[in-house]
Amino acid sequence: MQVHDSLVELMGNTPLVRLRKVSAGVQPQVLAKVEYFNPGGSVKDRIAIRMIDAAEESGALVPGGTIVEPTSGNTGVGLAIVAQERGYRCVFVCPDKVAKDKIDVLRAYGAEVVVCPTAVSPDHPDSYYSVSDRLARETPNAWKPDQYTNRNNPRSHYETTGPEIWAQTEGRITHFVAGIGTGGTISGTGRYLKEVSGGRVKIIGADPEGSVYSGGTGRPYLTEGVGEDIWPETYDRDICDEVVAVSDKDSFVMTRRLAREDALLVGGSCGMAVVAALRVAATAPDDAVIVVLLPDGGRGYLSKIFNDEWMVQHGFGEQPTTEAAVRDVLARKTAGSS
Ligand code: PMP
């Protein structure tokens, strides 16, 4: 029988899909590594399994222990899936800018979630960094994976994401584009691709405008999971040949286009990475093969990016959608007939 004993076996080995519509008219091939195919719905499954395996080996995580982590959701889901298989408890700490749907998902997997304010500095006692530190100290048998310092985060990408992309493109990849959050994805994948290609593959980071990676000061932006106000240890500052800053508006408009035109219902950091990839494509040679990593799916963003009113409220309004235009016409008709 073709049966898997656990979802954990299905982590990684995600497909590479051509972006047909949003890259129309662009000569280089633009290929998306679609990470929502992971069982937890995001790229973070890869780091969850690798970090937990290593903690079990080192004895940092003991049977019946508790995993405590500050996570905007995706890492939490990956950790929760592995934790369920192996009998650990999970306590996650999230900033309040995270969509409620994402927090509800963590709770649905049986995790406990503590929500903290976004608008405080990282060293403030209520920041999600401080609260998770305190919980990790005060909970018996607690282990904090700390995706911002854990070397197994970039290592998981060096061992899985990088080799998969190299094999899938038969070594023809010329550019790799990914958003930078902890920096694990770009640092691990980037290092593998640079090594295997003898330095030929160019590594391009995508960053929300205002974040430190593209020269900002950490000014608030709304794109989730990427950008930082601090420099995490998991980010290799030498890995990027270039870092492209993308506005929230451009990221979100592209995120909506990906769903409508290429049927890829993905998150806001995916739109951001695709905008950066298309900017790279605009100046790359015609025979370039550009791989852009799409970290997660879009269902966690339905009440934000995919909600017309939310987009307009935040000044990200785009051309009226067909539905909105129809509503508009009907409203004017009704007003005229009354
Ligand atoms: N996009 C989303 C939605 C994420 O959750 C993350 C992880 N924080 C990233 C992009 C960036 O990945 P990394 O942490 O590996 O840099």
Residue 22 or 333, more confident: 22
Strands 175-179 and 202-208: parallel
* Mean pLDDT, rounded, for 83-105: 89
How sure is the predictor about 238, in pLDDT bands with cuts at 50, 70 and 90?
A: very high
User: Nearest CA to 161 among 295, 270, 268?
Assistant: 295
Ligand 1 atom 12, closest CA: 181
> What is the best residue among 226, 243, 274, 305 to mutate for testing ligand 1's pocket, by most ligand atoms within 8 Å of CB?
226
Ligand 1 atom showing the smallest separation from residue 185 Cα: 15
Whether 334 shows a pLDDT value over 80: the answer reads: no
Ligand 1 within 6 A of 300 CB?
Answer: no
In angstroms, the CA 141 to CA 262 distance is 46
Residue 319 or 9, more confident: 9
For residues 308-330, one letter each, b for 16 or more C-beta atoms within 10 angstroms of the residue's C-beta and e for the rest, the string is bebbeeeebeeeeeeeeeeeeee
Supply the pLDDT for residue 119.
85
Q: Classify residue 282 as exposed, middle or buried by CB count within 10 Å of its CB (0-12, 13-18, 19+).
A: exposed
* Mean pLDDT, rounded, for 298-318: 92
For residues 124-144, one letter each, b for 16 or more C-beta atoms within 10 angstroms of the residue's C-beta and e for the rest, the string is eeebbbbbbbebbeebeebbb
In angstroms, the CA 208 to CA 172 distance is 28
| Cα–Cα distances in angstroms (integers) from residue 130 to residues 117, 245, 302, in the given order | 11, 28, 30
Rounded percentage of the chain residues whose pLDDT exceeds 90: 79
* Mean pLDDT, rounded, for 170-191: 98
Ligand 1 within 6 A of 267 CB?
Answer: yes
User: Token pair for residue 291?
Assistant: 């791989």
Whether 333 shows a pLDDT value over 80: the answer reads: no
| 184 Cβ contact list (under 8 Å, min separation 6) | 47, 147, 153, 154, 156, 157, 234, 235
| Gap from CA of 326 to ligand 1 centroid (Å) | 37
Ligand 1 within 6 A of 189 CB?
Answer: no
In angstroms, the CA 289 to CA 28 distance is 6
Angle at 238 between CA 154 and CA 276, to 5 degrees: 80
**Max CA separation in the chain (angstroms):** 74
In angstroms, the CA 35 to CA 78 distance is 12
In angstroms, the CA 184 to CA 47 distance is 9
Whether 29 shows a pLDDT value over 80: the answer reads: yes
* Mean pLDDT, rounded, for 269-279: 98
Ligand 1 within 6 A of 35 CB?
Answer: no
Residue carrying structure tokens 């980071």? 205
User: Token pair for residue 235?
Assistant: 């980010």
How sure is the predictor about 224, in pLDDT bands with cuts at 50, 70 and 90?
A: confident
The residues annotated with a catalytic role in the active site are 44
Beta bridge partners of 208: 246
* Mean pLDDT, rounded, for 4-13: 96
Residue 251 or 121, more confident: 251
Chain-wide mean pLDDT for the chain?
93
Contact of 152 with 233, CB cutoff 8 Å: no
Instruction: Quickly list H helices, the chain.
Output: 44-58, 74-86, 100-108, 128-138, 152-156, 162-168, 184-196, 248-262, 268-283, 308-313, 322-337
In angstroms, the CA 198 to CA 313 distance is 48
pLDDT tens, 39-48?
999 999 999 9
Helix (H, G, I), strand (E, B) or coil at 245: strand
Contact of 319 with 252, CB cutoff 8 Å: no
Q: How far is CA 27 from the centre of its chain?
A: 27
How sure is the predictor about 338, in pLDDT bands with cuts at 50, 70 and 90?
A: very low
Whether 167 shows a pLDDT value over 60: the answer reads: yes
How sure is the predictor about 102, in pLDDT bands with cuts at 50, 70 and 90?
A: confident
